[in-house]
């Protein structure tokens, strides 16, 4: 492996992590990194003094280009849009050291930013790029980039989980939720879901899923019991505990094919949010 190839491979995880946070899609993130690789191969060895900065710049600009078409697609997206789930070992590959910065709540907060705000915030606050480098990447002044990042920082504060459950608490609540949801145990569901729980789901218009978030304990329990009664899991369904976007969750499979993931957000000993992914296009990576 050449030195140039080695530099790129060393940066691959960080680049994929940046692209995923920008786009909310692991598949698109990998396409961006592949495009960055082609750009990198066109650079003469030793020509770039700061490879990390150069590659961040390439990836960011490729992502900004993709976001233009992504925004148009999401305007006609059927139901609620959720990011493609990152499961188990992929959490580490995309930068688990960044902790909650892989959480679905955080990614949804990023989604509400403008593309430039998102880029400035991620480059500086998450990937530690100095504002001088951010300015070169975005083609803006340092002062403008500081303003972009500051606006973004305020917006995403609410998207970062402030409560860190213990491993025992995560396992207990996740196992209890799985058993109660599959069996239709109303008493247990009321005991583990928060009063203000929010149920999110993404079917992409391809499979059944609630089109809008469901708010509150009573509505959440009714929904879960209704799903159990009207659309029970196929016979032979297997479920396992997993790490989804850095948080506890479940992966459901049938005949070896993953058809649903459920990420849980835990706050003060209760499940505060559930993020259900049923869109087969966003689960395709788990079945490849």
Residues 47-101 have pLDDT tens digits of 888 888 999 999 999 999 999 887 778 778 899 999 999 998 776 666 644 445 7
On the question of pLDDT at 123 being above 50, the answer is yes
pLDDT mean over 169-184: 94
Q: What's the whole-number average pLDDT of the chain?
A: 90
What are the residue ranges spanned by the domains of the chain? 3-159, 167-287
pLDDT at 136 over 90: yes
Res 92: pLDDT: 66
Q: What are phi and psi of 136, to 5 degrees?
A: -65, -40
Do residues 63 and 113 lie in contact, with contact meaning Cβ atoms separated by under 8 Å? no
CA dist., res. 98 & res. 92, Å (int): 9
Of 72-76, 203-207, 264-268, the least confident = 72-76
Tokens of 76: 């006609």
pLDDT at 274 over 80: yes
Q: Which residues of 158-182 are buried (b: 16+ CB within 10 A; e: fewer)?
A: ebebeeebeeeebebbbebbbebbb
Q: Is the pLDDT of residue 115 over 90?
A: yes
3-159 CATH pick, 1.10.10, 1.10.3720, 1.20.140, 2.160.20: 1.20.140
* pLDDT value of position 148: 96
**Six-digit token pair at 43?**
């650079």
The whole-number pLDDT of residue 175 equals: 96
pLDDT for 99 equals 47
pLDDT digits (tens, 9 = 90+) for 219-235: 999 999 999 888 888 88
Record: fold of 167-287: Nuclear Transport Factor 2; Chain: A, (3.10.450)
Beta-strand ranges (E) seen in the chain are 193-202, 214-215, 238-244, 247-254, 257-267, 270-277
Contact indicator for 235, 159 with CB cutoff of 8 Å: no
Inter-CA distances, 17 with 6, 13, 24, 61, 238, Å: 18, 6, 10, 15, 30
Q: Identify which of 111, 104, 86 has the alpha carbon closest to the alpha carbon of residue 13.
A: 86
Q: What does DSSP say about strands 247-254 and 270-277: parallel, antiparallel, or unpaired?
A: unpaired
**Cα–Cα distance, 168 to 165 (Å, whole number):** 8
pLDDT of residue 160: 65
Structure confidence by residue, pLDDT tens digits, 26-54: 989 999 999 999 999 888 767 888 888 99
pLDDT(158) > 90: no
- pTM of the predicted protein model: 0.89
């Amino acid at each position: 492996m050449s030195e140039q190839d080695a530099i790129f491979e060393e940066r691959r995880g960080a680049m994929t992590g940046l692209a995923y946070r920008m786009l909310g899609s692991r598949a698109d993130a990998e396409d961006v990194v592949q495009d960055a690789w082609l750009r990198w191969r066109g650079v003469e060895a030793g020509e770039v003094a700061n490879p990390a900065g150069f590659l961040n710049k390439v990836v960011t600009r490729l992502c900004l280009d993709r976001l233009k078409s992504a925004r148009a697609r999401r305007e006609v997206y059927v139901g609620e849009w959720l990011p493609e789930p990152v499961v188990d070992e992929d959490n580490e590959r995309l930068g688990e050291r960044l902790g909650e910065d892989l959480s679905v709540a955080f990614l949804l907060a990023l989604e509400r930013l403008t593309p430039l705000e998102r880029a400035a915030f991620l480059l500086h606050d998450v990937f530690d790029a100095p504002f001088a480098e951010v300015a070169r990447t975005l083609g803006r002044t340092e002062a403008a980039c500081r303003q972009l990042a500051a606006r973004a920082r305020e917006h995403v504060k609410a998207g970062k989980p402030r409560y860190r459950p213990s491993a025992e608490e995560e396992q207990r609540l996740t196992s209890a939720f799985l058993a109660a949801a599959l069996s239709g145990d109303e008493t247990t569901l009321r005991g583990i879901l928060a009063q203000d729980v929010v149920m999110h789901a993404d079917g992409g218009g391809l499979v059944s899923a609630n089109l809008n978030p469901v708010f509150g304990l009573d509505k959440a329990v009714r929904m879960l019991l209704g799903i159990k009664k009207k659309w029970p899991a196929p016979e032979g369904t297997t479920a396992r505990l997993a790490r989804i976007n850095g948080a506890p969750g479940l992966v459901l499979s049938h005949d070896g094919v993953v058809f649903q993931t459920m990420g849980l957000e835990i706050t003060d000993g209760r499940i505060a949010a559930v993020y259900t992914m049923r869109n087969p296009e966003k689960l395709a990576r788990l079945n490849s």
